[in-house]
């Protein structure tokens, strides 16, 4: 079937606004987009200069709760649309793609990532990405600091109450 996206479009004078009505048959597809796509802040993608870093970030962000993701090397090559020249030698792929992506993701996004090479014999066949949420680390630090502050406050109150009772 073929649909026009909009069943109605109207320009509102002096407001610079166009009001549109979406074709009723398309609404279920458009309203359920959240379930089919990954949600992340665009500021992270825009702050990275490497297209590989952006794509790897997209592939990892949905796994941050799990904490890791493993790719067959050939699968990762395909997902990243890596040219044949980088597929031939793993050290080149590692240097020009993985290390740069790791650096940019760690510097510019909400994730801390690292990777491990999984080998069969001497050949790298899989890459395991380790994924941590920077925000979780910050929350943990805040909780740790508040616990320390609470302990200090209790000691101060205890010292004050001893001073008052003497």
Structure confidence by residue, pLDDT tens digits, 3-39: 677 778 888 888 888 888 877 777 666 665 555 555 5
In the chain, the domains with their CATH numbers are 1-37 (no CATH), 38-138 (1.10.10.10)
pLDDT band at residue 112 under the 50/70/90 scheme:
very high
pLDDT band at residue 44 under the 50/70/90 scheme:
confident
Structure confidence by residue, pLDDT tens digits, 120-166: 999 999 999 999 998 875 555 555 556 666 676 677 767 666 665 55
Number of residues written out for the chain:
166
Predicted local confidence at residue 105, as pLDDT: 95
CB of 107 closer than 8 Å to CB of 48: no
Structure confidence by residue, pLDDT tens digits, 59-81: 998 898 899 999 999 999 999 99
pTM, to two decimals: 0.62
The two counts, helices (H) then strands (E), for the chain are 9, 5
CB of 105 closer than 8 Å to CB of 53: yes
Dihedrals phi, psi of 118, to nearest 5 degrees: -105, 125
Give the Cβ contact number of residue 22 at 10 Å.
16
Predicted local confidence at residue 139, as pLDDT: 54
Max distance between CA atoms of the chain, in angstroms, equals: 88
């Amino acid at each position: 079937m073929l649909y026009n996206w909009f069943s109605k479009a109207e320009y509102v004078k002096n407001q610079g606004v166009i009001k549109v009505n979406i074709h009723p048959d398309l609404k279920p597809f458009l309203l359920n987009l959240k379930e089919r796509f990954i949600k992340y802040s665009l500021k992270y993608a825009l702050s990275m200069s490497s297209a590989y870093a952006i794509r790897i970030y997209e592939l990892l962000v949905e796994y941050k709760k799990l904490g890791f993701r493993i790719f067959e090397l050939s699968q990762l090559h395909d997902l990243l649309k890596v040219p044949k020249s980088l597929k031939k030698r793993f050290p080149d792929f590692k240097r020009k793609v993985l290390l740069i992506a790791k650096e940019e993701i760690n510097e510019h996004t909400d994730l801390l990532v690292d990777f491990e090479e999984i080998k069969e014999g001497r050949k790298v066949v899989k890459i395991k990405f380790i994924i941590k949420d920077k925000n979780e680390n910050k929350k943990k630090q805040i909780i740790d600091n508040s616990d320390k502050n609470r302990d200090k406050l209790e000691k101060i109150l205890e010292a004050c109450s001893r001073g008052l009772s003497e």
